[in-house]
Structure 1
Amino acid sequence: MPVRVQTEDFDVSQEVAALRANSPQVGAVVTFIGTVRDMNDGSSVAEMELEHYPGMTEKALQNIVEQAKARWPIFDALVIHRIGPLLPLEQIVLVAVTSAHRGEAFSACEFIIDYLKTDAPFWKKEQTPQGARWVDARTTDDTALAKWKLPVSESGVGK
């Protein structure tokens, strides 16, 4: 399954090897690994907890992967996103994309993580010296997402 939401950590080498196993047509593998930072918005972060809406989250992630496959000639994509309490330096998310050429793989990987950051139903709570706080969406994430929006056609229909 190209989408997994889980509490346990993942092994990037094993996941990439499985993604490209028996696929001699693969010429490029691009990965993105998101990790927990120890600082955010000027405060130290001791822990970050990720919550999600089971079923809805997996469906949203699968939809994002399908959109990437529709836009670029990629062979496969994998998204693993962790939930639960995580400490600084721990891995949060893996996005891996395979294709014949690097350009498509880079674009699809960036597209998937940009949409994941804005459209996937995850909620983040950080533990800081000032107490627990929910993390709001960033305007930089919305800006990153805007580059992928297709223009609306004359009929008013866009993708």
Structure 2
Amino acid sequence: MATIRVQEAPFDVAAETAALSAGRVDVGGIASFLGLCRADDGLAALVLEHYPGMTERALAGIVAEAEGRWPLTGCTVIHRVGRILPGEPIVLVLAASRHRTAALEACAFLIDWLKTGAPFWKREEFADGQSRWVEARASDDAAAAKWG
């Protein structure tokens, strides 16, 4: 069973990884992706908004697609919302499988699709008081498109 959470609070990568594999002897590998807020061009904070319920359903659909493509023994997707400062975690993807290839490919698929298929709206706040909404990037669309 997958763990999917949208939350304001930071998460503990080690605790989430341990929870995914606790008591499991069918897990041969866990691939992970940890996305962090970076301070590009004077960024002071990133503010993420979402529609509760709709966002979780979209994430569940993306996870279900991964589970249908690869023999996963577990999966965790945690995405933060609210005001996030540079250096803080934004998103965690963990994909567990009996074998590394499935875990690695599923993890890459999940983060590529989260970037384009999950309904989050991002606003950048800058040190000078300015702010702007983040537009979709063609590179993110291309990464998701390679999965067909």
Shorter-chain TM band: over 0.9
- State whether structure 2 residue 129 is matched by structure 1 residue 147: no
Letter in 2 for 1:57: T
Structure with greater proportional helix content: 2
Greater relative contact order, per chain length (Cα 8 Å cut-off, separation 6+): 2
Query: Aligned residues, how many?
Result: 146
Name the amino acid aligned to 1:92.
I
- Root-mean-square deviation (CA, aligned residues, Å) is 0.9
User: Is residue 2:17 matched to residue 1:16?
Assistant: yes
Gaps of at least 5 residues in structure 2 are none
DSSP 3-state at the match of 1:54: coil
TM-score by length of 2: 0.96
Q: Which residue of 1 aligns with 2:88?
A: 90
Higher-Rg member (1/2) = 1
Shift of 1:130: 6.4
Q: Structure 1, residues 1-41: CA drift from partner, whole Å, max 9, x if none?
A: 610000000000100100111111111011100000100xx
1:60-139 correspondence runs (5 A): 60-128=58-126, 129=128, 131-139=130-138
Q: Give the aligned partner of residue 7 of structure 1.
A: 8
Asked if the contact 1:2–1:62 (Cα under 8 Å) also holds between the matched residues in 2, the reply is: no
Describe the SS at the equivalent of 2:14.
Answer: helix
Mapped partners of 2:44, 2:35: distance in 1: 17
Identity %: 51
TM-score by length of 1: 0.90
